[in-house]
Structure 1
Amino acid sequence: MRASTLAVDVGGVLYYDEPFDLAWLQGVWELAQEDDPTLTMDAFLQAVRDFYRHRTPGTPPPSLFPPNGTKSWQCVRERWTSLVQPIPGAVDALGQLAGEYETCIVANQPLECLSALGAMGIEQQVRLVALDSLVGYAKPDPRLFEWALDRLNWKPEHTVVVGDRTDHDAAPALALGCSAAIVNVDGGWSAPAEVDPEIEAVYRGLETRQGYTSEGSARYWSVAALGDLADVLWAGGREECCPWPSQEVHP
């Protein structure tokens, strides 16, 4: 397979997801305590543990202490760009890749992501930005990828989907006939300044990533950072492919 087109995710690939989650949790705590001053931090943290333990993958987050979850998420959206923490080297890596391959963005992100991509200089480097909030389909629904490929007249067999989740990115990509590369970034993010240390500590201890298992695939790679993908693509994908992870974790 010789790739010529790339469909790149945003969260977990270009910037960290975790600061948004933590800002949201802090907002939920403050709003919930306003409603019920008897609510203790211990009780709130247990609710957070239960929420992430039973959370359905792919569902939007505002369902903790409703309606405060929704209110807090709206506040997070209003300050989206200020919460962005780019993954080190990712923006430069995207620029280098976009110089060699036709590139687009395909992501589950709110509309505010557009401003963030513009501020990072990313929107100008890609052919198309396809967000679930714009298109109406959300990953893992393959129709979000199909929508982007149809508009760009790209062939799946020449397209590599780059994401951070095997269930949201690799699975639908392989089903469509694309190749897939999963980026496994380190935990180099920082909590927003207002986040209570107890909330941060519990969040860091949670297994907030979703596992997925499948058969191995010759059209799948796992890389440590976006910049490492260039070596795989420039070699024509002939390296030994990483096995499909049985314990892969995702935000």
Structure 2
Amino acid sequence: MTTNTIDVVSYYRVSSQGQGESGLGLEAQREYITRAAQQNGWIIIGEFVDVVSGKLAIEDRPEGAKALALCKQTKAKLVVAKLDRLSRSVHHIARLLDETMDFKVATMPQADKFQLHLFAALAEQERSFIASRTREALAALQARADGGDVQSVEKIARRTAALEKGRTPTNRAKASKAIQDRVSSWQESVRDPIDLCIRKGGRTLQQVADCLNGKGITTSRGGEWSSIQVSRVMKNIGLQF
């Protein structure tokens, strides 16, 4: 542990009011930053939480603007749990770096400006891959349904009913995208809890499942996790041991 201490301002972001009220995602972010602060000698002098989309620049967010102001006033460094909590836009992050805004990321506390810029670009590319994998997963579900898998047939029937509601090709396309967006959104909401379970020593799929169940985090259907469910989600969001 370093003996040099620095003042930091914690900034947390969740994407929906539901996440803000339930603490889903917020608790994980606090744990990331608390651990990093203990390991790197950071002194947290302020904490700000926004419930907004990552597409909005941090200076345009109510609490984000306050966090930046406190950093300037106290010469402290802004710290976020993960880079996407600061922004999902490479452009926004690059602009902050160009304007000499000094910030820290709890999951990679030693990263320099070049590395942060690179990680932001890679993360944007990964989100594109995730969207593609979601479409592939739905296609695989259809293939299993065609092969006679009962559960898959039932799932496809529900999705088909939803897609057919609007009748027109445009509405069917919108409904299909809405399904894909919901799947992607839910998978992203459990990324941090799964990552934390791995960081806490989970070395098998079942250990991660037990960790999630112990935290009271449910599957998309509100049930308990199994090793198979953990495996599918980790593959879709690109997490590995």
Q: TM range, normalised to the smaller chain?
A: 0.3 to 0.5
Larger radius of gyration: 2
Higher helix share goes to which structure? Answer: 2
- Structure 1-normalised TM-score? 0.32
- Structure 2-normalised TM-score? 0.33
Structure of greater relative contact order (alpha carbons < 8 Å, 6+ residues apart): 1
